Structure 1
Amino acid sequence: MPETIWENEIKQIRLPDEEVRKASLTRWNHLAKPLHGMGALETMLARIAGIQGRLHPSLQKKGIVVLCADNGIVKEGVSQTGAEVTAVVAGNFLTGQTSVCKMAKVAGADILPYDIGILTDVEGLTKAEYKISCGTKDFLEEPAMTREEVVRAILTGMKIVKERKAQGYEILATGEMGIGNTTTSSAVACALTGEAAGVMTGRGAGLSDEGLIRKKEVITEGLARRNPDPSDPVDILAKVGGLDIAGLTGVFLGCARYQVPAVLDGFISSVAALAAVRIEPKVKEYLFASHRSKEPAHNRILEELGLEAVLDLGMALGEGTGACALFPLLDMAMTVYEEMSSFDDIQVEQYKEYTS
């Protein structure tokens, strides 16, 4: 039954309004500045206009959805810290004591954290309607999740977007917290792209050389044992993924379903975005790549998505920090778009478009 509900929801996904997007680009061209002078910010804002279906879009209410979950694969020595750190950091989202909380305050965005699969409950955060289970299994020993758990996580992600859209959120960024989730995301990335673990695996939060070797071995062996179906993203997520990745897959599907611009953070959320696009290709039209992270496979995933990151800052923090960094740029672009004089206003001849 859950999978039927999810499939019915996906059928409702529609493409953004192309006429509005084109009209927005025309408006940009009439502003008293060099044509395309603001580069990618112009095309991004035009895409947002198309998604919202209005020539004058709004980004007043911004949210960062942070999904928190633990991963059984941590027991294989693939991370520098233990699983207990997930719950500690997740709790800090409630008190504003994380990096993304500090950044979001400056960017005028709300932090929206969820316990979708932390090993222990976190007071003030854990709610039964969003929590799928207390972490995943060790995918070296058995599948990380059941198919039903993955579908429930995807539906939960979609539910979160529906609720936040009803509360007036106009754009959502994505973040995650979960020790071991660069291992699960690398494994999912390998299965989705066919690349080897050696290509798709980085140091995460700071592994030693020995730790990185172990991480690659675990992913390679885990994929061989679980043998996920490369044509079935749900099977991949169930066998080697994580609850945060599955939930974020649902968030991206939900953003497309409910017509909300979705800002990717780094490698982990980008892998979830790729899973969502493999499930429903139209999701791509709702995605915005914020930055290029230090994880070696992030660029490969962005290429697979056909997206260009706006920022390249060498960030490797997670939590939605890179996605949050894009918000002020979008706000500045919005101010130019809405308040800049046109060529007609200043009685100056408009720039002409020349093609090479």
Structure 2
Amino acid sequence: MIQPNIASLHMEAGKKAAVYIDTLLKPVGSLGRLEEVAIQLAEITGEPFPEVTPPGVIVFAADHGIAKEGVSAFPQEVTKQMVTNIVEGGAAINVFGRQIGASFRVVDVGVASEVLEEQVIHRKVRPGTASFLTEKAMTREEAEKAVSTGHEEASHLIESGVKCLIIGEVGIGNTTTSSAVLAVITGADPASIVGYGTGISSDQYTHKIEVIREAIDYHKPDSTDAIDILSKVGGLEIAAMAGAMIAAAEKRVPVLLDGFICTVAGCVAQLLSPQAADYMILSHQSVEPGHLTAIKHLDKDPLIQLKMRLGEGTGAAVAFPILQSAVNMVKEMATFESAGVSGKEE
């Protein structure tokens, strides 16, 4: 199991960035959130003039035994089919990843069926979780291994030169798993978290809530123990995503959070290492109701709202140019002094 070693934010770099931004050729504060993002990136990276290019996208794929309980609109085999589509370049995350010039990896951390594509990184911990309605999703050892796997894969990607990490996921049933994990961490009623996921019916929606309530009541996960939560009601890709976030934080690389499932993984990462959340920037707010609960738990503010709910890392990839704009603002804008423009009279 990893032993997180995350440094505090570099506040001095943030202060230097803030002072410099106030000298740029514009009214103070007139670029709003872009200025805030630039300062946050300085604190994360330790550099007053930070870099976020090239970005890296890593997608973790895994299946969920809870899908057998009728909580999803799609059959479990769709997970493998989506992995195939991703490696062939036809998924939404491929489109948006290409658009921002991202390095790309897809990791099989727990797809139930055999994945044969050579382009996939094969790190299967087990072939899907068990149905956590009747048994533990996985063992503690498997949960720890999934976290470590995500940590290792993200570390490899970052070592290749990536300056910003986007983490996505593929896995039928994972909104149910994420809802259960979030309900345990926050103590929220599952009814306030659960959404319609990939498009379930009203009856399935009601059933989904009851399944989560029954599972939490049956397993009684320890809300202070991330591995206990993951092993009892978690998912392999959620564990791997949390590990990846910790790796990025350790290396002072910003994590651009995606939607509901990714943000829940962020809550798990924070539980594993509280300072991990300091290195996360929230890309967007999903229409999944539980996303707002996770956002409030992490005390984040979304950059955009486009009513997205796809996952895969798509919202983060779409929002990435905002980070690039913040960086370019600091690096390329003239100052009042360099432009020979008179400043505001006191």
Q: What interval of TM-score do these two structures reach, taking the shorter chain for normalisation?
A: over 0.9
Which residue is 2:78 aligned to?
85
TM-score by length of 1: 0.94
3-state SS of 1:307 partner? coil
Q: What is the CA distance between 1:69 and its match in structure 2? A: 0.4
User: Structure 2 counterpart of 1:124, which letter?
Assistant: E
Report how many aligned residue pairs link the two structures: 345
Find 1:183's aligned residue among 165, 168, 176: 176
Which residue is 1:124 aligned to?
118
Q: Aligned partners of 1:98 and 1:255: how far apart in 2?
A: 25
Q: Aligned partners of 2:150 and 2:342: how far apart in 1?
A: 49
3-state SS of 1:288 partner? strand
Range moving further from structure 2, 344-353 or 276-285: 344-353
Which residue is 1:197 aligned to?
190
Give unpaired runs (5+ residues) of structure 1: none
Give CA-to-partner distance per residue, 1:44-67, whole Å, 9 cap, x none.
222222222222211221111111
Contact 2:56 2:103 in 1 (8 A): yes
Contact 1:91 1:125 in 2 (8 A): no
Which residue is 1:209 aligned to?
202
Range moving further from structure 2, 176-185 or 15-24: 15-24
Q: Aligned partners of 1:350 and 1:158: how far apart in 2?
A: 48
Contact 1:143 1:238 in 2 (8 A): yes
3-state SS of 1:134 partner? coil
Instruction: Indicate how the Cα distance of structure 1 residues 91 and 352 shifts in structure 2: closer, same or farther if over 3 A, else same.
Output: farther
Q: What is the CA distance between 1:300 and its match in structure 2? A: 1.3
Q: What is the CA distance between 1:214 and its match in structure 2? A: 1.0
Residue 336, structure 1, aligned to residue 329, structure 2: yes
Q: Aligned partners of 1:246 and 1:274: how far apart in 2?
A: 11
Contact 1:32 1:341 in 2 (8 A): yes
Q: Aligned partners of 2:209 and 2:104: how far apart in 1?
A: 33
User: Structure 2 counterpart of 1:319, which letter?
Assistant: E
Range moving further from structure 2, 315-324 or 45-54: 45-54
Q: Aligned partners of 2:38 and 2:149: how far apart in 1?
A: 28
- CA RMSD between the two structures: 1.5
Q: What is the CA distance between 1:329 and its match in structure 2? A: 1.6
Q: What is the CA distance between 1:339 and its match in structure 2? A: 1.2
Which residue is 2:315 aligned to?
322
Residue 146, structure 1, aligned to residue 139, structure 2: yes
Contact 1:228 1:239 in 2 (8 A): yes
Contact 2:111 2:127 in 1 (8 A): yes
User: Structure 2 counterpart of 1:17, which letter?
Assistant: H
Q: What is the CA distance between 1:110 and its match in structure 2? A: 2.6
Q: Aligned partners of 2:54 and 2:345: how far apart in 1?
A: 36
Contact 2:87 2:120 in 1 (8 A): no
Q: Aligned partners of 1:231 and 1:336: how far apart in 2?
A: 41
3-state SS of 1:116 partner? strand
Which residue is 2:162 aligned to?
169
Q: Aligned partners of 1:13 and 1:351: how far apart in 2?
A: 41
Range moving further from structure 2, 104-113 or 152-161: 104-113
Query: What fraction of aligned residue pairs are identical, expressed as a percent?
Result: 37
Instruction: Indicate how the Cα distance of structure 1 residues 280 and 350 shifts in structure 2: closer, same or farther if over 3 A, else same.
Output: farther
Contact 1:161 1:258 in 2 (8 A): no
3-state SS of 1:215 partner? helix
Q: Aligned partners of 1:281 and 1:258: how far apart in 2?
A: 15
Range moving further from structure 2, 179-188 or 196-205: 196-205
